[in-house]
Amino acid sequence: MAVKPVWNPSIGAAGLFLRHVAVFEAELGLASGFGPMENDECRMNPAAFEVFVNALLIQHRRTSHATFRALDELRIAGSISSLRGRHEMAVAATARRRIFPGSTLRRVNADDANRRWTASMPEAYERHLVPALFRPFAAALAARAAVLRPGRILELAAGTGALTSALLTALPEASMVATDLNEAMVTAGSAREPRAHWQQADAQQLPFEDGGFDLVVCQFGVMFFPDRPAAYAEVARVLAPQGRFVFSSWGTLAAHGFDDAFQTALEECLPGEAPPFLREVPHGYTDPALVASDLTAAGLSLADAEEITLDGVAESAASVATGFLNGTPVSAALQARPDAETLQAAVTRKMTDRLGPGPVTAPMTATIYTARHQA
Ligand SMILES: C[S@@+](CC[C@H](N)C(=O)[O-])C[C@H]1O[C@@H](n2cnc3c(N)ncnc32)[C@H](O)[C@@H]1O
Protein backbone atom coordinates (compact mmCIF):
# COMPACT_ATOMS: atom_id res chain seq x y z
CA MET A 1 0.00 0.00 0.00
CA ALA A 2 1.36 3.45 -0.91
CA VAL A 3 1.95 5.87 1.95
CA LYS A 4 0.24 9.23 1.47
CA PRO A 5 2.11 12.37 2.56
CA VAL A 6 0.12 14.00 5.34
CA TRP A 7 1.06 17.54 4.36
CA ASN A 8 0.30 17.37 0.66
CA PRO A 9 -2.58 19.88 0.28
CA SER A 10 -4.04 17.80 -2.55
CA ILE A 11 -5.25 15.18 -0.06
CA GLY A 12 -6.95 17.93 1.93
CA ALA A 13 -5.59 16.94 5.35
CA ALA A 14 -3.18 19.86 5.64
CA GLY A 15 -5.82 22.38 4.58
CA LEU A 16 -8.33 20.88 7.00
CA PHE A 17 -5.76 20.95 9.79
CA LEU A 18 -4.92 24.62 9.18
CA ARG A 19 -8.64 25.58 9.10
CA HIS A 20 -9.07 23.65 12.33
CA VAL A 21 -6.12 25.51 13.85
CA ALA A 22 -7.60 28.88 12.78
CA VAL A 23 -10.81 28.13 14.72
CA PHE A 24 -8.85 27.53 17.89
CA GLU A 25 -6.54 30.49 17.31
CA ALA A 26 -9.68 32.62 17.40
CA GLU A 27 -11.01 30.85 20.48
CA LEU A 28 -7.79 31.12 22.47
CA GLY A 29 -6.81 34.54 21.12
CA LEU A 30 -3.34 33.17 20.43
CA ALA A 31 -1.32 32.76 17.23
CA SER A 32 -0.57 29.11 16.43
CA GLY A 33 2.78 29.81 14.80
CA PHE A 34 1.70 28.30 11.44
CA GLY A 35 2.08 30.50 8.38
CA PRO A 36 -0.02 30.19 5.19
CA MET A 37 0.39 27.10 2.98
CA GLU A 38 2.45 28.01 -0.09
CA ASN A 39 3.58 25.49 -2.73
CA ASP A 40 3.05 22.55 -0.42
CA GLU A 41 5.05 24.25 2.32
CA CYS A 42 3.96 25.84 5.52
CA ARG A 43 6.43 27.76 7.68
CA MET A 44 6.01 27.58 11.43
CA ASN A 45 7.29 29.40 14.50
CA PRO A 46 8.10 26.57 16.96
CA ALA A 47 8.10 28.85 20.06
CA ALA A 48 4.63 30.24 19.30
CA PHE A 49 3.36 26.74 18.46
CA GLU A 50 4.63 25.34 21.75
CA VAL A 51 2.77 28.04 23.69
CA PHE A 52 -0.35 27.44 21.56
CA VAL A 53 -0.36 23.66 22.13
CA ASN A 54 0.23 24.07 25.84
CA ALA A 55 -2.72 26.50 26.01
CA LEU A 56 -4.88 23.93 24.14
CA LEU A 57 -3.88 21.25 26.64
CA ILE A 58 -4.69 23.49 29.59
CA GLN A 59 -8.12 24.32 28.20
CA HIS A 60 -8.70 20.63 27.49
CA ARG A 61 -7.92 19.64 31.05
CA ARG A 62 -10.25 22.30 32.40
CA THR A 63 -13.41 21.18 30.58
CA SER A 64 -15.55 18.21 31.54
CA HIS A 65 -18.18 18.68 28.80
CA ALA A 66 -18.28 15.46 26.73
CA THR A 67 -18.70 17.18 23.34
CA PHE A 68 -15.92 19.67 23.98
CA ARG A 69 -13.65 16.89 25.18
CA ALA A 70 -14.31 14.77 22.06
CA LEU A 71 -13.57 17.74 19.76
CA ASP A 72 -10.56 18.67 21.85
CA GLU A 73 -9.10 15.20 21.57
CA LEU A 74 -9.13 15.47 17.78
CA ARG A 75 -7.50 18.88 17.64
CA ILE A 76 -4.95 18.13 20.32
CA ALA A 77 -3.98 14.86 18.63
CA GLY A 78 -3.47 16.76 15.37
CA SER A 79 -1.41 19.46 17.04
CA ILE A 80 0.70 17.05 18.99
CA SER A 81 1.49 14.95 15.95
CA SER A 82 2.92 18.10 14.35
CA LEU A 83 4.95 18.90 17.41
CA ARG A 84 6.80 15.60 17.66
CA GLY A 85 10.55 15.76 17.66
CA ARG A 86 12.35 18.80 19.01
CA HIS A 87 9.31 20.20 20.86
CA GLU A 88 7.82 16.99 22.16
CA MET A 89 9.29 17.64 25.58
CA ALA A 90 6.85 20.37 26.54
CA VAL A 91 3.67 18.55 25.60
CA ALA A 92 4.91 15.32 27.15
CA ALA A 93 4.52 17.03 30.50
CA THR A 94 2.47 15.26 33.09
CA ALA A 95 0.21 17.66 34.96
CA ARG A 96 -1.64 17.11 38.20
CA ARG A 97 -4.05 19.83 39.26
CA ARG A 98 -4.61 20.64 42.88
CA ILE A 99 -6.60 23.53 44.31
CA PHE A 100 -5.88 24.91 47.74
CA PRO A 101 -8.11 27.22 49.76
CA GLY A 102 -7.14 30.20 49.65
CA SER A 103 7.16 39.38 59.09
CA THR A 104 9.09 41.47 59.12
CA LEU A 105 10.53 42.99 55.99
CA ARG A 106 14.08 41.90 55.28
CA ARG A 107 15.46 44.03 52.48
CA VAL A 108 17.86 42.34 50.14
CA ASN A 109 20.60 43.66 48.01
CA ALA A 110 22.68 41.90 45.42
CA ASP A 111 25.56 41.56 47.89
CA ASP A 112 23.75 38.68 49.55
CA ALA A 113 25.83 35.83 48.06
CA ASN A 114 22.95 33.45 47.31
CA ARG A 115 21.21 36.09 45.21
CA ARG A 116 24.14 37.57 43.34
CA TRP A 117 24.68 37.24 39.60
CA THR A 118 27.62 39.36 38.46
CA ALA A 119 30.13 39.73 35.61
CA SER A 120 29.91 36.72 33.22
CA MET A 121 27.53 34.67 35.38
CA PRO A 122 24.42 35.63 33.35
CA GLU A 123 26.21 34.51 30.15
CA ALA A 124 27.02 31.06 31.58
CA TYR A 125 23.48 30.82 33.02
CA GLU A 126 21.91 31.67 29.65
CA ARG A 127 24.23 29.43 27.63
CA HIS A 128 24.26 26.29 29.81
CA LEU A 129 21.18 26.32 32.06
CA VAL A 130 18.38 28.24 30.33
CA PRO A 131 17.85 25.91 27.33
CA ALA A 132 17.67 22.72 29.40
CA LEU A 133 16.20 23.83 32.72
CA PHE A 134 14.32 27.11 32.27
CA ARG A 135 12.98 27.43 28.73
CA PRO A 136 10.65 24.39 28.92
CA PHE A 137 8.97 25.85 32.02
CA ALA A 138 8.87 29.32 30.44
CA ALA A 139 6.73 27.90 27.63
CA ALA A 140 4.43 26.19 30.16
CA LEU A 141 4.01 29.31 32.30
CA ALA A 142 3.54 31.56 29.25
CA ALA A 143 0.76 29.30 27.98
CA ARG A 144 -1.08 29.59 31.31
CA ALA A 145 -0.58 33.36 31.44
CA ALA A 146 -1.44 33.99 27.78
CA VAL A 147 -5.00 32.68 28.14
CA LEU A 148 -5.61 35.53 30.63
CA ARG A 149 -4.98 38.02 27.76
CA PRO A 150 -3.21 40.65 29.88
CA GLY A 151 -2.34 44.03 28.33
CA ARG A 152 0.20 45.22 30.93
CA ILE A 153 2.66 42.68 32.32
CA LEU A 154 5.29 43.01 35.03
CA GLU A 155 7.94 40.31 35.41
CA LEU A 156 9.94 39.88 38.63
CA ALA A 157 13.36 38.20 38.84
CA ALA A 158 13.39 37.97 35.03
CA GLY A 159 17.03 36.85 34.78
CA THR A 160 18.15 36.71 31.17
CA GLY A 161 14.54 36.77 29.96
CA ALA A 162 13.53 33.17 29.17
CA LEU A 163 9.94 33.81 30.29
CA THR A 164 10.00 37.38 28.94
CA SER A 165 10.57 36.05 25.42
CA ALA A 166 8.00 33.26 25.72
CA LEU A 167 5.36 35.75 26.89
CA LEU A 168 6.13 38.33 24.22
CA THR A 169 5.96 35.63 21.55
CA ALA A 170 2.54 34.58 22.82
CA LEU A 171 1.30 38.15 23.42
CA PRO A 172 3.13 40.47 20.98
CA GLU A 173 0.72 43.34 21.67
CA ALA A 174 1.25 43.34 25.45
CA SER A 175 3.46 45.90 27.17
CA MET A 176 6.05 44.15 29.27
CA VAL A 177 8.25 45.48 32.06
CA ALA A 178 10.96 42.97 33.01
CA THR A 179 12.81 43.49 36.30
CA ASP A 180 15.59 41.81 38.24
CA LEU A 181 17.59 42.55 41.38
CA ASN A 182 20.96 42.15 39.68
CA GLU A 183 22.23 44.74 37.23
CA ALA A 184 24.24 42.08 35.33
CA MET A 185 21.03 40.15 34.66
CA VAL A 186 19.20 43.30 33.51
CA THR A 187 22.09 44.11 31.13
CA ALA A 188 22.11 40.57 29.69
CA GLY A 189 18.31 40.33 29.53
CA SER A 190 17.81 43.69 27.82
CA ALA A 191 20.43 42.83 25.19
CA ARG A 192 18.79 39.46 24.52
CA GLU A 193 15.13 40.56 24.63
CA PRO A 194 14.84 44.24 23.65
CA ARG A 195 11.07 44.03 23.10
CA ALA A 196 10.58 44.41 26.88
CA HIS A 197 11.32 47.49 28.99
CA TRP A 198 14.03 46.40 31.48
CA GLN A 199 14.59 47.86 34.92
CA GLN A 200 16.58 46.88 38.00
CA ALA A 201 14.25 46.26 40.96
CA ASP A 202 14.08 44.31 44.20
CA ALA A 203 10.79 42.39 44.20
CA GLN A 204 10.28 43.43 47.82
CA GLN A 205 10.34 47.15 46.94
CA LEU A 206 8.78 47.69 43.56
CA PRO A 207 9.23 51.13 41.97
CA PHE A 208 5.77 51.10 40.36
CA GLU A 209 2.40 52.75 41.00
CA ASP A 210 -0.54 50.95 42.56
CA GLY A 211 -2.76 48.83 40.31
CA GLY A 212 -0.79 49.35 37.08
CA PHE A 213 -0.47 45.73 35.88
CA ASP A 214 -2.99 43.12 34.70
CA LEU A 215 -0.50 40.33 35.24
CA VAL A 216 2.59 39.88 37.38
CA VAL A 217 4.77 36.87 36.56
CA CYS A 218 7.83 35.35 38.14
CA GLN A 219 9.60 32.19 37.03
CA PHE A 220 11.77 30.48 39.67
CA GLY A 221 12.41 33.75 41.50
CA VAL A 222 10.21 33.68 44.63
CA MET A 223 12.53 31.17 46.35
CA PHE A 224 15.20 33.90 46.37
CA PHE A 225 13.09 36.50 48.18
CA PRO A 226 14.05 36.55 51.89
CA ASP A 227 10.65 37.96 52.87
CA ARG A 228 8.07 36.45 50.54
CA PRO A 229 4.96 37.97 52.20
CA ALA A 230 6.61 41.39 51.72
CA ALA A 231 7.24 40.67 48.04
CA TYR A 232 3.71 39.31 47.59
CA ALA A 233 2.30 42.45 49.28
CA GLU A 234 4.15 44.49 46.65
CA VAL A 235 2.63 42.29 43.95
CA ALA A 236 -0.84 42.87 45.48
CA ARG A 237 -0.21 46.62 45.47
CA VAL A 238 0.83 46.89 41.80
CA LEU A 239 -1.77 44.40 40.55
CA ALA A 240 -5.06 45.74 39.07
CA PRO A 241 -8.24 44.60 40.89
CA GLN A 242 -8.93 41.74 38.44
CA GLY A 243 -5.23 41.01 37.90
CA ARG A 244 -3.43 37.72 38.36
CA PHE A 245 -0.05 36.72 39.74
CA VAL A 246 1.36 33.63 38.00
CA PHE A 247 4.65 32.24 39.27
CA SER A 248 6.62 29.03 39.61
CA SER A 249 8.77 27.32 42.19
CA TRP A 250 10.81 24.13 41.90
CA GLY A 251 9.73 20.92 43.62
CA THR A 252 12.09 18.93 45.82
CA LEU A 253 15.75 18.46 44.92
CA ALA A 254 15.14 14.71 44.48
CA ALA A 255 12.49 15.48 41.84
CA HIS A 256 14.94 17.39 39.64
CA GLY A 257 17.25 15.09 37.70
CA PHE A 258 19.90 17.73 36.86
CA ASP A 259 19.98 19.61 40.18
CA ASP A 260 20.06 16.37 42.18
CA ALA A 261 22.90 14.94 40.06
CA PHE A 262 24.92 18.15 40.49
CA GLN A 263 24.35 18.50 44.25
CA THR A 264 25.12 14.81 44.85
CA ALA A 265 28.37 15.10 42.85
CA LEU A 266 29.31 18.27 44.75
CA GLU A 267 28.63 16.66 48.13
CA GLU A 268 30.67 13.60 47.18
CA CYS A 269 33.59 15.79 46.09
CA LEU A 270 33.38 18.10 49.12
CA PRO A 271 32.09 15.98 52.00
CA GLY A 272 30.72 18.24 54.73
CA GLU A 273 31.62 21.50 52.98
CA ALA A 274 29.60 21.56 49.75
CA PRO A 275 27.65 24.83 49.29
CA PRO A 276 24.01 24.00 50.19
CA PHE A 277 22.69 26.62 47.71
CA LEU A 278 20.62 24.30 45.48
CA ARG A 279 19.19 22.38 48.41
CA GLU A 280 18.27 25.46 50.46
CA VAL A 281 17.37 28.18 47.94
CA PRO A 282 15.98 26.92 44.58
CA HIS A 283 14.57 23.79 46.28
CA GLY A 284 13.78 25.39 49.62
CA TYR A 285 10.20 26.54 48.93
CA THR A 286 8.33 23.42 47.88
CA ASP A 287 5.27 23.30 50.11
CA PRO A 288 2.09 24.66 48.44
CA ALA A 289 0.45 25.12 51.86
CA LEU A 290 3.28 27.51 52.86
CA VAL A 291 2.95 29.35 49.55
CA ALA A 292 -0.80 29.70 50.17
CA SER A 293 -0.27 31.10 53.67
CA ASP A 294 2.44 33.56 52.48
CA LEU A 295 0.03 34.81 49.80
CA THR A 296 -2.81 35.12 52.30
CA ALA A 297 -0.59 37.15 54.62
CA ALA A 298 -0.05 39.57 51.73
CA GLY A 299 -3.73 40.01 50.84
CA LEU A 300 -3.70 37.59 47.92
CA SER A 301 -5.37 34.22 47.61
CA LEU A 302 -4.13 31.11 45.87
CA ALA A 303 -6.47 30.16 43.03
CA ASP A 304 -4.52 27.30 41.53
CA ALA A 305 -1.40 25.22 42.08
CA GLU A 306 -0.40 22.89 39.28
CA GLU A 307 2.50 20.53 39.65
CA ILE A 308 4.12 19.70 36.33
CA THR A 309 7.03 17.48 35.35
CA LEU A 310 8.94 18.24 32.16
CA ASP A 311 11.95 16.57 30.62
CA GLY A 312 14.97 18.82 30.25
CA VAL A 313 17.40 18.10 27.44
CA ALA A 314 21.00 19.32 27.67
CA GLU A 315 23.87 18.92 25.19
CA SER A 316 25.89 17.08 27.88
CA ALA A 317 26.27 16.59 31.63
CA ALA A 318 29.45 18.68 31.34
CA SER A 319 27.43 21.61 30.00
CA VAL A 320 25.02 21.44 32.96
CA ALA A 321 27.93 21.22 35.41
CA THR A 322 29.57 24.25 33.75
CA GLY A 323 26.28 26.14 34.08
CA PHE A 324 26.00 25.48 37.82
CA LEU A 325 29.69 26.12 38.50
CA ASN A 326 29.88 29.37 36.50
CA GLY A 327 26.33 30.64 36.15
CA THR A 328 24.83 30.38 39.64
CA PRO A 329 25.76 31.67 43.12
CA VAL A 330 27.54 28.31 43.70
CA SER A 331 30.41 29.77 41.66
CA ALA A 332 31.17 32.47 44.25
CA ALA A 333 31.84 29.83 46.90
CA LEU A 334 33.93 27.56 44.68
CA GLN A 335 35.96 29.79 42.40
CA ALA A 336 37.96 31.26 45.29
CA ARG A 337 39.28 27.78 46.15
CA PRO A 338 42.82 26.88 45.05
CA ASP A 339 41.54 23.50 43.79
CA ALA A 340 38.67 25.03 41.75
CA GLU A 341 39.77 23.48 38.44
CA THR A 342 40.29 19.97 39.85
CA LEU A 343 36.95 20.24 41.60
CA GLN A 344 35.15 21.28 38.42
CA ALA A 345 36.67 18.29 36.57
CA ALA A 346 35.68 15.87 39.36
CA VAL A 347 32.08 17.16 39.56
CA THR A 348 31.76 16.97 35.77
CA ARG A 349 33.07 13.38 35.74
CA LYS A 350 30.62 12.29 38.44
CA MET A 351 27.68 13.94 36.67
CA THR A 352 28.67 12.29 33.39
CA ASP A 353 28.97 8.90 35.13
CA ARG A 354 25.46 9.33 36.46
CA LEU A 355 23.69 10.92 33.46
CA GLY A 356 25.74 9.49 30.60
CA PRO A 357 27.91 11.03 27.85
CA GLY A 358 26.51 13.14 24.99
CA PRO A 359 23.02 14.68 25.10
CA VAL A 360 21.32 14.02 28.44
CA THR A 361 17.69 14.11 29.52
CA ALA A 362 16.27 14.43 33.02
CA PRO A 363 12.81 14.93 34.54
CA MET A 364 12.24 18.18 36.44
CA THR A 365 9.25 18.93 38.67
CA ALA A 366 7.90 22.36 39.55
CA THR A 367 4.62 23.95 40.58
CA ILE A 368 2.97 26.81 38.72
CA TYR A 369 0.83 28.94 41.03
CA THR A 370 -1.91 31.43 40.18
CA ALA A 371 -3.01 33.99 42.77
CA ARG A 372 -5.45 36.91 42.80
CA HIS A 373 -6.69 39.57 45.18
CA GLN A 374 -8.71 38.28 48.12
CA ALA A 375 -12.47 38.68 47.58
C1 LIG B 1 17.08 31.17 38.95
S2 LIG B 1 17.10 32.81 38.38
C3 LIG B 1 15.59 32.82 37.43
C4 LIG B 1 15.68 33.83 36.33
C5 LIG B 1 14.57 33.80 35.29
N6 LIG B 1 13.28 34.06 35.86
C7 LIG B 1 14.56 32.50 34.51
O8 LIG B 1 13.55 31.81 34.52
O9 LIG B 1 15.58 32.19 33.86
C10 LIG B 1 16.66 33.73 39.81
C11 LIG B 1 16.68 35.22 39.57
O12 LIG B 1 16.18 35.87 40.74
C13 LIG B 1 16.79 37.14 40.81
N14 LIG B 1 16.56 37.68 42.16
C15 LIG B 1 17.07 37.20 43.31
N16 LIG B 1 16.59 37.92 44.35
C17 LIG B 1 15.76 38.86 43.84
C18 LIG B 1 14.98 39.92 44.40
N19 LIG B 1 14.93 40.15 45.71
N20 LIG B 1 14.26 40.70 43.57
C21 LIG B 1 14.29 40.48 42.22
N22 LIG B 1 15.02 39.52 41.63
C23 LIG B 1 15.74 38.71 42.43
C24 LIG B 1 18.23 36.82 40.45
O25 LIG B 1 18.96 37.95 40.06
C26 LIG B 1 18.03 35.82 39.32
O27 LIG B 1 18.01 36.49 38.07
Cα-to-centroid distance, 249 and ligand 1 (Å): 12
Convert the pLDDT of each residue in 181-197 to its tens digit. Answer: 999 999 999 999 999 99
In a 3-state reduction of DSSP, which class is residue 6?
coil
DSSP annotation of 337 reads S
Lowest mean pLDDT segment, chosen from 69-73, 146-150, 167-171, 337-341: 69-73
- pLDDT band (50, 70, 90) for residue 19: confident
- Whether residue 83 has its Cβ less than 6 Å from ligand 1: no
- Whether residue 366 has its Cβ less than 6 Å from ligand 1: no
Cβ contact 321:347 at 8 Å: yes
- Whether residue 221 has its Cβ less than 6 Å from ligand 1: yes
**Domain(s) of CATH 3.40.50.150: residues in the chain:** 98-373
Ligand 1, residue 117: give the atom nearest the CA: 25
- Whether residue 261 has its Cβ less than 6 Å from ligand 1: no
Using most ligand atoms within 8 A of CB, pick from 105, 180, 219, 220 the residue to mutate for ligand 1: 180
- Whether residue 203 has its Cβ less than 6 Å from ligand 1: yes
Beta-bridge partner residues of 245? 216, 371
CATH topology (fold) of 98-373: Rossmann fold (3.40.50)
As separate numbers, helices (DSSP H) first and strands (DSSP E) second, the chain gives: 15, 10
Cα-to-centroid distance, 143 and ligand 1 (Å): 21
- pLDDT band (50, 70, 90) for residue 34: confident
If you write DSSP's letter for every residue of 154-219 in order, what string do you get? Answer: EESS-TTSHHHHHHHHH-TTSEEEEEES-HHHHHHHHHH-TTSEEEE--TTS--S-TT-EEEEEEE
Ligand 1, atom 7: nearest CA belongs to which residue?
Answer: 159
- Whether residue 124 has its Cβ less than 6 Å from ligand 1: no
Using most ligand atoms within 8 A of CB, pick from 111, 114, 115, 204 the residue to mutate for ligand 1: 115
Cα–chain-centroid distance for residue 76?
22
Cβ contact 296:229 at 8 Å: no
First to last CA, the chain: 63
302 vs 101, higher pLDDT:
302
Convert the pLDDT of each residue in 143-181 to its tens digit. Answer: 999 999 999 999 999 999 999 999 999 999 999 999 999
Cα-to-centroid distance, 70 and ligand 1 (Å): 41
